[in-house]
């Protein structure tokens, strides 16, 4: 038979003396934490003296056992994630290796109010106290939490104030163009006077990247070229990153300029860096240092970058509206259907065991001959026809280059004076030949001298009038950078090497040709930059 017993509760009083005796009988394992926020010599001396002070202080106390000194050197106090020794200290506390932490002040422990309170609470939950000497506060006492929070707020406000003052000083330096950036840039090194100096071997790589891009290479092809030729990156690696190459093509430092405040930190606590997309002003310092790339070529590259990134899709089956640039074949950019205006695409087929390539109208490939009845062009025959066209156009190289220059001036600057200049020069040349012929006839025939002299005088009067017109036309024809640069690149191509059109060359085609139209009667019309054209059968 079960008997019901009365439930009783007995209170066992707390015994602080027992706890005190246990602590007195057991030595506390005490560690110290110290931190300096800069690498300056005075601070480093303070850092070393803090380590020496705490090592001696812990060793002198008979109730303490030395558990180590944890120190962070040249590290900010606003972010604990960057303080390696602080985090190591917390891990050792979690492992039960430490009973108490000594530190100089709350600002040395943390300048972030949230971090300071959260870590103090975590340590208190593990019965580990933090003693702040300057404020004489023991974190194990619950009544001290409000004081810890108050001093943490003060420390954070002080840090924010220092940050604001530093930012103001930096902005003033930027406005005056005197701010010194780190300038970790491929092709440059910082000189002893603080002015960036060009590294010749790296500068040559930069020029190669810019030249290849203007020659039609894609970023992928430039990457392959650099790795194949064993060019090293800034860190000495053999593998190049496409993002790095693209950023180099957009880097204004290579033209001697410097844009300040491309990035910024929204606050001093998170230390996160963000790209400046208009939140803060930027400062452009022109001609800040020696240039590796001339300004005309740099501007050309920026225009080509914009052109490639804004190419619209050619195929109606494309998913996105933007087309991807491919630098493998020049004809992918230049070959168009003379019937419907669609681009041509390179296709391959195997015939009798041999691989053959044919260029076909993309519109016809996708929608059939009912939409477009354009013909396909076998690649080898197409290449040969293009070469014949170029040989025809450049049979008289000097005249073609002169006409090409004037046409480029007219097309790009939209000024008729450029074309007038070429016409006037031709007229002057013709009149000069006529005057010379008249003088020769006058001497050889002995005819009516007065008639010949009047004719010759008339010719020279016409020449003088044309020369005046030519001078006016040349003065009023102002070439922009693109026209000058385009023509200079073509001229240098012909002068630097014995260029021939016996074989198809992607680079030469890109530099010279504006477009190639394929007609259904198996003709091609090659249009050079500037509008000069010729046609051939293929």
The whole-angstrom separation of Cα 61 and Cα 67 is: 13
| 490 vs 206, residue with greater confidence | 206
Q: What values do phi and psi take at 368, rounded to 5?
A: 90, 170
Query: Smallest Cα–Cα separation from 363: which of 309, 315, 395?
Result: 315
Say what angle helices 295-309 and 481-496 make with each other, to 10 degrees.
Answer: 100
Distance in angstroms (rounded) separating the CA atoms of residues 263 and 272:
10
Average pLDDT, the chain: 77
Measured between alpha carbons, how far is 253 from 187 in angstroms, rounded to an integer? 10
pLDDT of residue 404: 66
The DSSP line for 473-492 is: HHHH----HHHHHHHHHHHH
SS3 514: strand
Exposure string of 9-40, with b = 16+ CB inside 10 Å and e = fewer, is eeeeeeeeeeeeeeeeeeebbbbbbbbbbeee
What is the model's pLDDT at position 226? 94
Q: DSSP letters along 171-229, please?
A: HHHHHTT--------TTEEE-TTSSEEE-HHHHHHHHHHHHHHHTT--HHHHHHHHHHT
pLDDT at site 41: 46
Mutual angle of helices 397-413 and 481-496, in 10-degree steps: 160
Give 40-90 pLDDT, tens digit per residue.
444 545 667 777 888 888 888 888 888 888 888 765 545 566 788 888 988
Full set of structural domains in the chain with CATH: 19-162 (3.40.50.1390), 188-304 (3.90.1750.20)
Whether pTM exceeds 0.75: no
Give, for 525, the enclosing helix (H) or strand (E).
strand 523-528
Read off φ and ψ for residue 345, nearest 5 degrees. Answer: -125, 145
**Higher-confidence position of 278 and 537:** 537
CA angle 530, 533, 538 (to 5 degrees): 140
* Contact status, residue 474 vs residue 421, Cβ threshold 8 Å: yes
Res. 497: pLDDT tops 60? no
Q: Is 210 left (phi over 0), alpha (psi -120 to 50) or beta?
A: alpha
DSSP type of residue 5: P
Query: Which pLDDT value is given to residue 223?
Result: 92
Task: Kindly provide the b/e burial profile for residues 165-202, where b requires at least 16 CB atoms within 10 angstroms of the residue's own CB.
Answer: eeeeeebeebeeeebebeeebbbbeeeeeeebebbeeb
Secondary structure element (H or E) that encloses residue 438, with its range? helix 417-445
Beta strands 129-132 and 100-103 are: parallel
Q: Is the pLDDT of residue 206 over 90?
A: yes
- Residue-wise pLDDT tens digits, 33-47: 887 765 444 454 566
306-354 pLDDT, tens per residue? Answer: 777 766 556 555 555 455 666 778 888 889 898 888 888 888 888 777 8
Q: What is the pLDDT of residues 107-147, one digit of tens each?
A: 777 766 667 777 888 888 888 888 888 888 888 876 777 77
- Give the span between the Cα atoms of 523 and 510, in whole angstroms: 20
Q: What is the pLDDT of residues 438-476, one digit of tens each?
A: 787 777 766 667 777 888 888 888 888 788 777 766 555
Q: What is the pLDDT of residues 269-281, one digit of tens each?
A: 556 777 777 777 7
Half-sphere exposure of 493 (CA within 13 A, CB side): 20
C-alpha–C-alpha distance, residues 184 and 181, integer Å: 9
Alpha-carbon torsion (233, 239, 244, 245), positive or negative = positive
- Which H or E run includes 406? helix 397-413
Contacts of 221 (CB under 8 A, 6+ apart): 212, 327, 328
CB atoms within 10 A of CB 128: 22
């Amino acid at each position: 038979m079960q008997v019901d017993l009365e439930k009783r509760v007995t209170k066992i009083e707390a015994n602080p003396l027992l706890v005190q005796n246990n602590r007195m009988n057991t030595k506390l394992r005490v560690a110290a934490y110290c931190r300096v926020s800069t690498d300056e010599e005075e601070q480093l001396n303070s850092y070393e003296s803090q380590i020496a002070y705490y090592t001696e202080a812990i060793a002198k106390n008979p109730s303490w056992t030395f558990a180590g000194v944890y120190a962070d050197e040249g590290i900010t106090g606003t972010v604990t994630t960057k303080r390696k020794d602080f985090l190591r200290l917390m891990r050792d506390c979690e492992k039960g290796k430490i009973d108490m932490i000594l530190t100089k002040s709350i600002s040395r422990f943390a300048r972030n109010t949230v971090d300071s309170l959260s870590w103090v609470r975590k340590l208190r939950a593990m019965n580990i106290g933090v003693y702040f000497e300057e404020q004489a506060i023991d974190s194990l006492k619950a009544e001290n939490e409000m004081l810890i929070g108050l001093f943490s707020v003060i420390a954070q406000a002080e840090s924010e104030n220092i940050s604001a003052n530093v930012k103001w000083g930096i902005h003033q330096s930027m406005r005056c163009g005197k701010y010194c950036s780190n300038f970790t840039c491929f092709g440059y090194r910082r000189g002893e006077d603080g002015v960036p100096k060009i590294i010749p071997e790296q500068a040559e790589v930069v020029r190669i990247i810019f030249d290849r891009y203007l020659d039609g290479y894609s970023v992928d092809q430039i990457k392959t070229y650099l790795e194949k030729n064993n060019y090293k990156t800034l860190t000495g690696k053999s593998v190049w990153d496409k993002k790095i190459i693209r950023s180099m093509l957009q880097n204004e430092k290579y033209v001697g300029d410097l844009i300040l405040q491309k990035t910024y930190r929204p606050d001093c606590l998170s230390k996160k860096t963000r790209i400046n997309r208009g939140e803060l002003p930027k400062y452009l310092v022109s001609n800040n240092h020696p240039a590796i790339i001339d300004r005309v070529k740099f501007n050309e590259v920026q225009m080509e970058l914009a052109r490639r990134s804004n190419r619209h899709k050619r195929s109606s089956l494309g998913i996105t509206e933007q087309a991807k640039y491919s630098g493998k074949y020049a004809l992918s950019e230049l070959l168009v259907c003379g019937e419907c205006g669609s681009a041509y695409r390179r296709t391959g087929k195997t015939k009798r065991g041999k691989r053959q390539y044919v260029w076909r109208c993309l519109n016809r490939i996708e929608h059939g001959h009912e939409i477009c009845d354009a013909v396909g062009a076998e690649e080898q025959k197409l290449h040969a026809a293009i070469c014949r066209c170029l040989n025809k156009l450049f049979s008289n190289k000097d005249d073609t280059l002169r006409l090409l220059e004037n046409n480029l001036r007219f097309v790009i600057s939209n000024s008729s004076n450029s074309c007038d200049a070429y016409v006037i020069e031709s007229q002057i040349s013709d009149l000069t030949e006529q005057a010379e012929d008249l003088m020769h006839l006058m001497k050889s025939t002995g005819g009516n001298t007065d008639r010949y002299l009047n004719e010759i005088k008339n010719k020279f009067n016409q020449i003088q009038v044309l020369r005046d017109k030519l001078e006016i036309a040349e003065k009023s024809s102002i070439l922009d950078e693109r026209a000058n640069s385009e023509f200079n690149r073509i001229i240098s191509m012909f002068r630097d090497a014995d260029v021939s059109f016996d074989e198809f060359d992607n680079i030469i085609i890109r530099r010279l040709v504006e477009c190639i139209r394929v007609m259904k009667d198996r003709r091609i019309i090659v249009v050079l930059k500037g509008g000069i054209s010729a046609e051939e059968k293929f």
